[in-house]
Amino acid sequence: MTRIKETSGKVTIQDVAALAGVSIKTVSRVVNREPAVREDTRERVEAAIAELDYRPNPSARSLAAQRAFVVGLLYDNPSASYIINIQEGALRTCREARYDLLIHPCHHADPGISREIELLLEHSKVDGILLTPPVADVDAVIDMLNARQTPYVKIAPGDRADIRRSVFTNDRQVCSEMTRYLASLGHQAIAFIRGHPDHKAIADRYAGYRDGLKDSGLQFDERLVQQGFNDFASGADCAATLLRQEQPPTAIFAANDDMATGVMRFAHQQNIEIPGELSVVGFDDIPIAAQAYPALTTIRQPMRKMAEKATELLLAQLRGHLPEPQIIVVDSSLQLRESTGPARTTSLELAAEN
């Protein structure tokens, strides 16, 4: 690498190019994390950047590339832990690519959500959008983004129609696995609390529950299914309905951890022992799952990893590299803890034995 004469002025992109022995365009490609650069050339440019302590001017960078180098993250989710994990995953990838992240909360059921996001695009000049559920399933938003030709990627959408711009997890398969696990503990009356009906991807969790019952040779009973709304209060309300039945379930599977902890709260209030009398499981593995008493058996959804993958996919779009069609799935996994145990013997089972 050719050494250039040090100056007292501010280091410029021309200085980096001269030290690395490359063109200004090549330095720009390295700074912008564009893929069309040989690895040895990239290393030489990065070494020059480090030696000169070069810091690109954001305004000049945006002007030259005709981009703002900003990714927008849209969300509407009552779980703070879910959003924090999504943010951290997106931020990690954005920082590596020298992009900023603009976080924008919105209400998916607002009739004006499409116009709200359109104004955001106009005023903030974001280059692309990350959509989290349930915003990812709002047709008006997708139609507006398509009309504006704004790049976007959907995280855990409710269908797999647009696999080029989506990242999924294996909700159905892993929920079937959790249901089979409960059945393996001897539970025959396994209840399920469904997630918010506007969160289409969560429907796969209910489908997985039904798959697991069938695979375990257990009969589906609609009396053991309650409609929740993804929050603690609805979990407690559903638990009250289920556990006050003449023949209550010995296990309750909630479609997220917030509802599962609501189930545990109601059970504690009624002096129902967990897991001695009732096993409880959730989905997501938010921090409270491990902190609850007893610690909650749940399904760990890799939210940070999903956000990282989604951001990588969006940045590839922004660089003009649309990948070949493939389903990107980041697998969830069972986290077995103290809230599950062998099924208690019910009065129905005792009668059958006698």
> For the segment 99-114, what is each residue's pLDDT rounded down to a tens digit?
999 999 999 989 999 9
Averaged confidence pLDDT in the chain: 87
Residue 46 pLDDT: 83
pLDDT of residue 90 exceeding 90, the answer is yes
Domains of the chain: 13-64 (1.10.260.40), 68-169+303-331 (3.40.50.2300), 171-301+335-353 (3.40.50.2300)
Helices then strands, counting H and E runs in the chain, come out as 14, 11
More confident residue, 225 or 148: 225
pLDDT of residue 63 exceeding 60, the answer is no
Confidence of residue 352 (pLDDT cuts 50, 70, 90): very low
Please say whether the beta carbons of 331 and 303 come within 8 A: no
The residue among 241, 212, 236, 214 whose CA lies nearest residue 225 is: 241
Residue 328 pLDDT: 92
pLDDT of residue 294 exceeding 70, the answer is yes
Question: How far from the centroid of its chain's Cα atoms is residue 203's Cα?
Answer: 15
Name the percent of the chain lying above pLDDT 70: 88
In b/e form, how buried is each residue of 175-204, taking b as 16+ CB within 10 angstroms? bbbbbbbbbeeebbbbbbbbbbebbbbbbb
User: Of the spans 10-14, 93-97, 128-132, 195-199, which averages the highest pLDDT?
Assistant: 128-132
More confident residue, 336 or 78: 336
Contacts of 184 (CB under 8 A, 6+ apart): 216
Nearest-angstrom CA–CA distance, 298 and 288: 11
More confident residue, 63 or 70: 70
Residue 174 pLDDT: 97
pLDDT of residue 200 exceeding 90, the answer is no
Contacts of 24 (CB under 8 A, 6+ apart): 13, 14, 17
pLDDT of residue 35 exceeding 80, the answer is no
Nearest-angstrom CA–CA distance, 257 and 175: 13
Residue 348 pLDDT: 44
Nearest-angstrom CA–CA distance, 165 and 329: 12
pLDDT of residue 345 exceeding 90, the answer is no
More confident residue, 151 or 320: 151
